[in-house]
Amino acid sequence: MSEYKTHNLASIIKPPTGEVVISPDAITRSLRAKDVGFIAMGFADRFQREVPLDEHGIAYVEMNKSGKLLLEPSKDGVIATSSLAGCTGVAGFAKRKDGSIAAFVSHYDPMSQNSKLTGEDTPVNKDLYGFRYQAGKDELASQLYYVVAYEAGEHSNPRYGQRNGSFKDWGYLDQINVTATQLGEDAQVLLLPYVPGQGNSLASGKTSGQEGIFWNGVRIDFDAYLADTTSATVATV
């Protein structure tokens, strides 16, 4: 269910439900296996580093990190992050004509989104624009798919001018909305305000015979939120 939408942008008010094809335990296991090290709060690391798959087929992205994954044709694997409990998660997915899959996931703490602290635009903008450039280097067989997940308390509804949360968050959300509308006809963007709870997971790639972007292990069906506007879409996304 969408709160508002255009031909390529929607805000989700009912998160996807269905079959869990990526176990949350598998994602957190990949985190535990990493040498996480020191995390600088409010500082976003280098844009979309290449992250290798571990023995369980998961490329894990830590807080304030941004990672990308290229899956060769017929290969399985996902790039994922977990413990989204107030942070912003971003994911992208695209399928190329050679059968390969381009995917990315980023995870940012709230401070990195506040331009009053960082002096910069939200790093989500760089993710949205940058993935379009990186994925589009080769001919695409699908649209570009994006999900931007953030704490529901910061949600705004630009159609009706309704604002929730504190004013410092509005600028960052407005930036994301503007960027999403400028990505073009071949991009679909879902904004997903979430309730923190015990922490959420976000993943992109291919696993268990399904491909696309996954929220808490459930594949997101973009057609359920946005009308199909092109014939060049991936049937399983």
For residue range 156-206, list pLDDT tens digits in order: 555 545 555 555 556 677 778 888 888 888 899 999 988 887 789 999 999
Domain that holds residue 205: 2-34+50-224
* Mean per-residue pLDDT, 3-20: 77
Decide if pLDDT at 40 tops 80: no
User: Is pLDDT at 53 greater than 90 in this prediction?
Assistant: yes
Euclidean distance between CA atoms 207 and 58, whole angstroms: 10
Which pLDDT band holds residue 228 (cuts at 50, 70, 90)?
very low
Whether 39 maps to a domain, the answer reads: no
Domain presence at residue 121: yes
Number of domains in the chain: 1
Is 195 a domain residue?
A: yes
Flag whether 236 is in a domain: no
Beta-strand (E) ranges in 55-209?
Answer: 58-60, 65-71, 77-84, 88-95, 101-108, 144-151, 156-157, 162-163, 187-194, 200-207
The whole-model pTM stands at: 0.83
Residue 30 lies in a domain: yes
Residue 230 domain flag: no
Is 235 domain-assigned?
no
Q: What is the pLDDT of residues 83-103, one digit of tens each?
A: 999 899 999 999 999 999 999
Q: What's the mean pLDDT when you consider all of the chain?
A: 80
Distances (CA, A) of 221 to 118, 147, 165, 201, 229: 34, 11, 28, 16, 15
Q: Is residue 234 part of a domain?
A: no
Q: What is the DSSP letter of 227?
A: -
Cβ count within 10 A of residue 129: 13
